[in-house]
Amino acid sequence: MFIILLLWIIVPIAIYLSLIVLNNVVVTFILFYVIICVLIPIVDLIFIQKKSLKEYLQYIGFSNLKKTFIPAAIIGIIFCISIFAFFVLLKNYVLKTDQIQTILNSWNINNKYLIPLLFTMIVANSVLEEVYWRGYIFKKLESVVSPPKVIVYSSLFYSSYHLITTINLFSIWYGIFFTAAIFGVGYFWGFMRRKFDSIYYSVISHLLADLGIMLIYVRYFSN
């Protein structure tokens, strides 16, 4: 369990140091997506545990695509529409656009690389986060805790580092609210991960949820 806790705690530390201390989204991308989400599972499973590529993919949960695609797409579209509608309808209460724009600028998030940004936050983010949390960490937890706790712990780990970004972009209370919502969605994705024995469900619906978030970005912060 100590190793799993270490694999969790390095994520909020990496996010905080790269994004809040260094204000560098490129460093965040390298530390979180490349090193943590991609390299750590590959080094552990393929180079240390000597799994084949097929065994690696099965371990992570790349299976049952046909069974999961349609239900995942339906719930993902609901997530996308709900997220977009929430921020549009409550814009005057939730979005302090000038303040958020200033923070995004300090993180070097702007329209200069809009297409790479959209690809990273919609496609890469959804796939790699799911590979790490509902794939790699989920399976590691299965070997040390009971099935219900696997879903709770993986959801808690997944949602925890979002508190850093949401508090900085919005406020403490909105940050807590959004992080609690992310925990709830993570729990749902964890439940579906176990139900289908696949991460395709969470990857697809996560991708569409991130699309809703980035539609808000394009609407209010890409001018």
pTM of the model: 0.94
The per-residue pLDDT for 113 is: 85
What does the angle CA 176 – CA 181 – CA 184 come to, to the nearest 5 degrees?
130
Count the helix, strand and coil residues of the chain and give each as a percent rounded to the nearest 5.
Answer: 85, 0, 15
Alpha carbon distances (Å) from 75 to 7, 190, 207? 29, 14, 11
pLDDT tens track of the chain, all 223 residues? 899 999 999 999 999 999 999 999 999 999 999 999 999 999 999 999 999 999 999 999 999 999 999 999 999 999 999 999 999 999 999 999 999 999 999 998 888 889 999 999 999 999 999 999 999 999 999 999 999 999 999 999 999 999 999 999 999 999 999 999 999 999 999 999 999 999 999 999 999 999 999 999 999 998 6
d(CA 163, CA 174): 9
Domain map of the chain by residue range? 2-221
The neighbour count for residue 90, using CB atoms within 10 Å, is 10
The per-residue pLDDT for 123 is: 96
Which positions ≥6 away from 221 have C-beta within 8 Å?
A: 97, 100, 101, 104
Q: Which of 223, 172, 211, 220 is CA-nearest to residue 82?
A: 211
